[in-house]
Amino acid sequence: MTSQLEFEPSWFLRNPHMQTFVGRTLRPTNGISYIRERFETPDGDFVDVDHPYFSTDTQPSVDPQTPILVALHGLEGNSRRTYMIQLYRQALAAGWRCVGVNFRGCSGEDNRLPQQYHAGFTNDLSFVLTQMQARFPQAKFALAGFSLGGNVVLNFTGTDALPAAVIAVAAISPPVDLVEDIAYFSRPGNKFYDNYFLRSIKQKLREKLVKHPENSILQAGLQAQTLFEFDNVCTGPLNGFADANDYYSKARALNNVLQIACPTLIIRSEDDPFFAPHLPDAVYQNKSITVLHPQYGGHVGFVGKRNLGEARFWGETQAIKFISNNLALT
Phi (first) and psi of residue 15, to 5 degrees: -135, 130
The pTM score is 0.95
CATH topology for 11-175+252-328 is Rossmann fold (3.40.50)
HSE-CB for 288 with a 13 A CA cutoff: 16
Any alpha helices (H) in 27-139, and if so which ranges? 82-93, 123-135
Quick one: pLDDT at residue 124?
98
Quickly count helices (H) and strands (E) in the chain. 12, 10
For the chain, domain boundaries: 11-175+252-328, 178-251
Angle at 53 between CA 263 and CA 150, to 5 degrees: 35
Distance CA 45, CA 244 (A): 24
CA distances from 71 to 98, 173, 175, 243 (A): 8, 14, 16, 29
Average pLDDT, the chain: 95
With cut-offs at 50, 70 and 90, classify the pLDDT of residue 310.
low
Give per-residue pLDDT as tens, 106-164.
999 999 999 999 999 999 999 999 999 999 999 999 999 999 999 999 999 999 999 99
Q: pLDDT digits over 150-176, tens only?
A: 999 999 999 999 999 999 999 999 999
The alpha-helical segments, DSSP class H, found in the chain are 16-26, 82-93, 123-135, 148-157, 178-185, 191-211, 216-221, 227-230, 236-238, 244-251, 281-285, 314-328
Pairing type for strands 46-54 and 32-40 reads: antiparallel
Residues 266, 319 contacting (CB under 8 angstroms): no
Measured CA to CA, the distance from residue 90 to residue 94 in angstroms comes to 6
pLDDT tens-digit profile of 269-280? Answer: 999 999 999 999
For 76-93, write each residue's pLDDT tens digit.
999 999 999 999 999 999
Q: Which residues contact 259 (CB under 8 A, 6 or more apart)?
A: 158, 159
**Which pLDDT value is given to residue 312?**
84
